[in-house]
């Protein structure tokens, strides 16, 4: 999305005042962000936590001075001392929370997906446009991963020439029983969609999905793995291997094939052992371990920018684009056909 132009950006916070954050959602991701804001990130404090499970919210906030635990997200936004909002609730709850935050002109960091579908995403984009300045950052944390940032810098510098192919793999230890085949695209490949757009600086124009096997016995019933092919307006082909139930760990890797060379990230195994005639390393078991540093960097950058009265990172238009591309991906998954993608026109342009 082109930058929003506004002469009425809210002033930055007083230098000594911590940013009071309301965290909406206290599940796995929300709990990790509560811990991070309370113990890792300077310049911020958890002012309120809202979750339908009141006991869980209270247990997570019991040792946080001045923090209130609630079941109503709107009440959390109205809590005295709340300056900003972090949305970590399930995707279907995001639209109402985002619109409520925009009504109150509160800065928001919203975990992906921004909203589950393209129509809802456009409603959020339009609401932010009417506000007149950016307020929403979408939590595509790979933009803050050190390896992804190095690859981005390398591609932007042009040392390897123009990119031609982008090979991506996204492997999970396992997924929840409620996980559906469509969620392979909307909840997993969504990360590669954003990463590809960001790394290449190009838009995705078509998608096709292939199933190498019908199913794997003893798994969740999801046809797994799948291969997603994305085409960009710059002529790059992006392939994404998505494996929901790998059974061995969590792996995310990307290789860029360019005119004059290649670059690959995601191969590090951390600790390496040599014993009993074998060598080996460790594989992260979930995203909170693999991207722990990226989440720290993301929240640190968001808090610092918000305190300055600025908004950073992926914006609401990025959230819309990913939702629209994923919707096309689900159609391609269902039909087996190549599905062209045409995004709606942006509701505002730089300088307008």
Tell me what the mean pLDDT of segment 245-273 comes to: 87
pLDDT of amino acid 349:
38
Report the pLDDT value the prediction gives residue 15, as an integer from 0 to 100. Answer: 63
Residue 340: pLDDT above 70? Answer: yes
Domains of the chain, residue spans? 19-141+294-315, 146-288
- 269, two tokens: 């195994």
Q: Are 292 and 36 in contact (CB under 8 A)?
A: no
Per-residue pLDDT band at 7 (split at 50, 70, 90): very low
CA-based nearest residue to 313, from 109, 86, 57: 109
* Nearest in space to 73 (alpha carbons), one of 117, 36, 54: 54
Contact present, 13 and 83 (Cβ < 8 Å): yes
| Main-chain phi, psi angles of 324, to 5 degrees | -70, -40
86 forms beta bridges with: 23, 109
User: What CATH number labels 146-288?
Assistant: 3.30.360.10
**pLDDT tier at 350 (50, 70, 90 boundaries)?**
very low
Determine which helix (DSSP H) or strand (DSSP E) holds 35, and give its type and residue range. Answer: helix 28-39
Helix 292-307 vs helix 28-39: crossing angle, to nearest 10: 60
Confidence of residue 6 (pLDDT cuts 50, 70, 90): very low
Left (φ > 0), alpha (ψ -120 to 50) or beta: where does 24 sit?
A: beta
Place of tokens 């992260």: 284
Computed over every residue of the chain, the mean pLDDT equals 90
Whether residue 67 contacts residue 58, with contact meaning beta carbons closer than 8 Å, is answered with no
pLDDT confidence band for 176 (50 / 70 / 90): confident
pLDDT band at 9 (very low <50, low <70, confident <90, very high): very low
Of 3-17, 106-120, 301-315, the one with minimum mean pLDDT is 3-17
Q: Is it the case that residue 114 has pLDDT exceeding 90?
A: yes
User: For the segment 197-217, what is each residue's pLDDT rounded down to a tens digit?
Assistant: 999 999 999 999 998 865 555
What does the longest C-alpha to C-alpha distance in the chain come to?
67
User: Is the per-residue pLDDT at 3 higher than 50?
Assistant: no
pLDDT digits (tens, 9 = 90+) for 143-152: 999 999 999 9
* Across 264-292, average pLDDT: 77
> Lowest-confidence range among 14-18, 120-124, 276-280?
14-18
Q: With a threshold of 0.85, does the pTM exceed it?
A: yes
What is the rounded average pLDDT of the residues 257-273?
A: 84
Give percent of the chain with pLDDT exceeding 70: 90
Dist. CA 168–CA 38, nearest whole Å? 34
Handedness of CA 196, 200, 202, 205 (dihedral sign): negative
Does pLDDT of 184 surpass 90? yes
- 97 neighbors 87 (Cβ within 8 angstroms): yes
**Start-to-end CA span in the chain (Å):** 13
Does residue 291 have a pLDDT over 90? Answer: no
- Is 19-141+294-315 in CATH node 3.90.1150.10? no
CA 76 to CA 21: how far, in whole Å?
9
Looking at the chain, the number of H-run helices and the number of E-run strands are: 11, 15
- Give the residue from 29, 92, 112 showing the smallest Cα distance to 325: 112
């Amino acid at each position: 999305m082109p930058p929003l132009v506004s002469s009425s950006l809210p002033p930055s916070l007083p230098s000594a005042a911590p940013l009071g954050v309301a965290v909406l959602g206290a599940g796995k991701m929300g709990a990790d962000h509560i811990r991070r804001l309370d113990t890792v990130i300077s310049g911020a404090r958890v002012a309120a936590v809202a979750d339908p499970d009141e006991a869980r919210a209270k247990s997570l906030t019991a040792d946080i001075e001045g923090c209130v635990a609630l079941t109503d997200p709107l009440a959390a936004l109205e809590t005295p001392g709340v300056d900003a909002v972090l949305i970590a609730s399930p995707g279907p709850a995001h639209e109402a929370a985002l619109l409520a935050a925009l009504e109150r002109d509160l800065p928001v960091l919203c975990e992906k997906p921004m909203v589950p579908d393209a129509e809802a995403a456009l409603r959020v984009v339009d609401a932010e446009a009417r506000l007149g300045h950016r307020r929403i950052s979408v939590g595509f944390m790979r933009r803050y991963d050190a390896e992804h940032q190095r690859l981005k810098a390398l591609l932007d510098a042009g040392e390897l020439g123009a990119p031609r192919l982008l090979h991506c793999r996204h492997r999970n230890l396992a997924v929840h029983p409620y996980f559906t085949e469509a969620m392979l695209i909307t909840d997993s490949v969504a990360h590669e969609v954003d990463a590809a757009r960001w790394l290449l600086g190009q838009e995705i124009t078509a998608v096709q999905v292939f199933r190498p096997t019908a199913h794997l016995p003893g798994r969740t019933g999801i046809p797994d793995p799948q291969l997603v092919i994305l085409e960009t307006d710059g002529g790059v082909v992006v392939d994404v291997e998505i494996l929901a139930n790998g059974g061995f760990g969590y792996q995310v890797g990307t290789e860029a094939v360019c005119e004059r060379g290649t670059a690959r990230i995601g191969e590090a195994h951390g600790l390496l052992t040599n014993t009993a005639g074998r060598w080996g390393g460790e594989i992260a078991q979930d995203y909170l371990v693999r991207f722990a540093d990226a989440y720290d960097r993301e929240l640190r950058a968001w808090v610092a920018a918000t305190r300055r009265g600025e908004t950073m990172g992926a914006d609401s238009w990025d959230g819309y684009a990913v939702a629209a591309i994923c919707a096309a991906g689900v159609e391609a998954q269902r039909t087996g056909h190549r599905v062209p993608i045409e995004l709606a026109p942006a509701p505002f342009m730089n300088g307008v």
